[in-house]
Amino acid sequence: MRIGEASKQSGVSAKMIRYYESIGLLTPAQRHTNDYRDFDMSDIHTLRFIHRARSLGFSIEEIGKLISLWRNRERSSREVKAITETHIHDLKQRIQAMQEMVDTLEHLSCHCHGDDRPDCPILEGLSNHS
Amino acid sequence: MRIGEASKQSGVSAKMIRYYESIGLLTPAQRHTNDYRDFDMSDIHTLRFIHRARSLGFSIEEIGKLISLWRNRERSSREVKAITETHIHDLKQRIQAMQEMVDTLEHLSCHCHGDDRPDCPILEGLSNHS
DNA sequence: CTTGACCTTGACACAATGGGAAGGTTTATT
DNA sequence: AATAAACCTTCCCATTGTGTCAAGGTCAAG
């Protein structure tokens, strides 16, 4: 099947399919005589795998490792779990950092009248708070 | 003072100071005869403001608006609060999306033995879960 | 035989930051 | 005074992952 159909069936945009191929995440698709890429169901499975991994926030690099483990029948689940745990840890840290921002911002915001007057604890917080 | 000192006093890297100037977030600094930028305390205040706003996750664009409100004595705190609330909302959405990733990942990970065997619910989750 | 829907590659853009090169200036040490 | 170290300048390139757009090739249906 051609790239448009592969895109529909996998949820990965045609642009991204070409991109993943160009950076070596995907082995280059077969080509028809007219140079059009030709995907089979195995390609679709891989693309779906990538799509789901992306939606769980894995980086392209991590996905590369996951795919190679996925294809390797000799793999140890330890390796997969390690990548996943690292990623979870990473996500949690980012969540925490953002939550701290939210806390600070809400603290500032709740003291701000939010009316026509110029007095604003938010701006004060941004300028004084060292 | 020169850019290195301004960087130290504000916490913004020299690289970023030049960048902020180039995109118009900062009004271009004074120049010495030798072409070196020359910052005064007013510049430092602005840089600190930017630094704190960045550390709270505001985008450059939002910071541009905040700075112009900060400088405007006729501002309404309503506008500042609106920008802040929008940003908080944005952060919360991103946190929620990431938290959902974490939940899914932890669910998969806790079922994975993480040993020498190849069986791996994580990979299965990534390949089957449509 | 034209129209429209595909496909191809390539270039450029985003946001915010870092790295480095090539070259000029100032400051400190010999 | 000479030299070395530590600055400064501009300009270019890389990052991550995605989108947009252009110029052109291919194919099927009308």
A87 contacts A95 by C-beta, under 8 angstroms: no
Angle at which helices A121-128 and A77-110 cross, to 10°: 120
Domain locations in chain B?
A: 1-75, 77-130
Burial of B28 (0-12, 13-18, 19+ CB in 10 A): exposed
B95 vs A contacts (CB less than 8 Å): 95, 98-99, 102
**How do the residues of chain B divide into helix, strand and coil, expressed in percent and rounded to 5?**
65, 5, 30
Blockwise average pLDDT, block size 10, chain A, 130 residues = 95 96 93 93 96 96 95 94 95 96 96 92 86
- Count of A-B CB contacts under 8 Å: 160
| Residue A30, min C-alpha distance to chain B (Å) | 22
B13: the nucleotide nearest its CA (via C1') is C17
- Tokens for B1, please give them: 């003072």
What is the rounded distance in angstroms from the CA atom of residue B112 to the CA atom of residue A92? 20
CATH of domain B1-75: 1.10.1660.10
Name which of A51, A81, A108, A117 to mutate to probe chain B: the one with the most chain B Cβ atoms within 10 A of its Cβ. A81
Which of B124, B98, B97, B99 is closest to B112 using CA atoms? B124
pLDDT tens-digit map of B51-97: 999 999 999 999 999 999 999 999 999 999 999 999 999 999 999 99
Tens digit of each residue's pLDDT (9 = 90 or more) over B86-129: 999 999 999 999 999 999 999 999 999 989 999 999 999 999 76
